[in-house]
Homo-oligomer: A and B are copies of this chain.
Amino acid sequence: MRILGLILFCLMLPGAARADTMATSAGPVRVDEILTGLHTPWAIAFLPDGSYLVTERAGALLHVRDGRARRVTGVPQVAAIGQGGLLDVMVPRDFATSREVFLTYSRARPGGAGTALAVGRLSKDGAALSNVRILFEAAPGARGGRHFGSRVIEAADGRLFVTLGERGDRPSAQDRSTHNGSIVRINRDGSVPQDNPFAGEAGARPEIWSYGHRNPQGAALDRTGALWAVEHGAQGGDEVNRIRRGVNYGWPVIAYGRHYSGARIGEGTAKPGMAQPDFYWDPSIAPSGLMIYSGRLWPDWAGQFFVGSLKFDMISRLAGDPLREEERIAGAATARVRDVAEAPDGSIWVVSEGRGAVYRLTPMR
């Protein structure tokens, strides 16, 4: 581990601070290349001391302080197959006292793999995760490497939401006896909140909060504390949804667009009892991380949605009611965007899978 840490340290030394600019509707943006040499980075989360964590899908959790990245020890073993691996990382609001860090990842289990949520305590120096416990594991899991999700969100009340793909098993997204294609809600200790919508339904998985999702890989709270998610839909049907208790989001019975085979989807684009998206992209952009901006450095963007696009190498900015796409922010930093996050200082950070790098956006002075 020490040797690996040293190698990573050398690979990821910050070079001469490379700064670039990108044009946006809010004026030119300064782009700083913060970290390079990453292998399929997936998510980023900030710690209160100014350091941050980055996941690599193959299984590495990196702690980065002052431009120096070290691989954190004690991370659970991941099943790095297809789209699976180490996925999201989330730092809760009480981190300063709890030192807890949450991870989602694909975990091997009988019959294949399922998305799991684990929590561990990060050491003071950021080098090690200890007391790692699995809080939730999606069942029944599946073989194959498609549609694991996943993001983990700390709600305003401290409960946790985890977004889960349907593992390529479309009908299972409508089946409340599986976690596939759902967003689950659990207490911080992994137990099930009594007011979950299907907690009293025979045969249903009690963790389910909403269902009928295809592959939600981005999620965020808005300024009112409401949960939103973006999901990879069918061809021409990637969606933004406000996530509401007990709601069926329709996949694969309804969806905009078509199956990637060209076949028509289920019963069409709408059906009573199934939610419409709040917005959909056609053509599909392959949406990854979702960030809803505070307005701290760009007041005009307060409350707006920033969604990474894996397919079109850009960040899609959405605003308004109804939501519409107002801008596509693109530059060298937005090659296959996997995550978009706001740092505590209001700067916007971009995790580029295409570049294997992390970028920081700030307004040009």
Contact surface of A with B, Cβ cutoff 8 Å: 195, 197, 224, 244, 248, 256, 269-280, 321-323
Q: Pick the contact of A276 from B197, B256, B273 — CB < 8 Å? A: B273
B273 touching A270, Cβ below 8 Å: no
Contact residues in B for A277 (Cβ distance below 8 Å): 272-273
How long is the Cα–Cα vector from A275 to B274 in the complex, in angstroms? 8
Q: Is the interface of A mostly helix, strand, loop or mixed?
A: loop
In the A-B complex, the 10 residue pairs with the smallest Cβ-Cβ separation, listed nearest first, are: A270-B270, A273-B322, A272-B277, A273-B278, A272-B276, A272-B279, A270-B276, A244-B244, A272-B280, A269-B270
How long is the Cα–Cα vector from A244 to B354 in the complex, in angstroms? 40
Shortest CB-to-CB span from A231 to chain B, Å, is: 13
Number of copies: 2
From A256, A269, A276, A322, name the one whose CB has the most chain B CB atoms within 10 angstroms.
A276
Shortest CB-to-CB span from A203 to chain B, Å, is: 13
How long is the Cα–Cα vector from A272 to B233 in the complex, in angstroms? 14
Shortest CB-to-CB span from A324 to chain B, Å, is: 9
How long is the Cα–Cα vector from A4 to B92 in the complex, in angstroms? 68
A275 touching B273, Cβ below 8 Å: no
How long is the Cα–Cα vector from A197 to B321 in the complex, in angstroms? 12
Contact residues in B for A280 (Cβ distance below 8 Å): 272
Contact residues in B for A271 (Cβ distance below 8 Å): 276
Shortest CB-to-CB span from A308 to chain B, Å, is: 20
How long is the Cα–Cα vector from A279 to B275 in the complex, in angstroms? 12
How long is the Cα–Cα vector from A61 to B278 in the complex, in angstroms? 44
Q: List 22 A-B contacts (CB under 8 A).
A: A195-B224, A197-B224, A244-B244, A256-B272, A269-B270, A270-B276, A271-B276, A272-B276, A272-B277, A272-B278, A272-B280, A272-B323, A273-B277, A273-B278, A273-B279, A273-B321, A273-B322, A273-B323, A274-B276, A275-B275, A275-B276, A276-B276
Contact residues in B for A279 (Cβ distance below 8 Å): 272-273
Given contacts A256-B272, A272-B278, 15 further A-B contacts (CB under 8 A): A195-B224, A244-B244, A269-B270, A272-B277, A272-B280, A272-B322, A272-B323, A273-B276, A273-B277, A273-B278, A273-B322, A273-B323, A274-B322, A275-B275, A275-B276
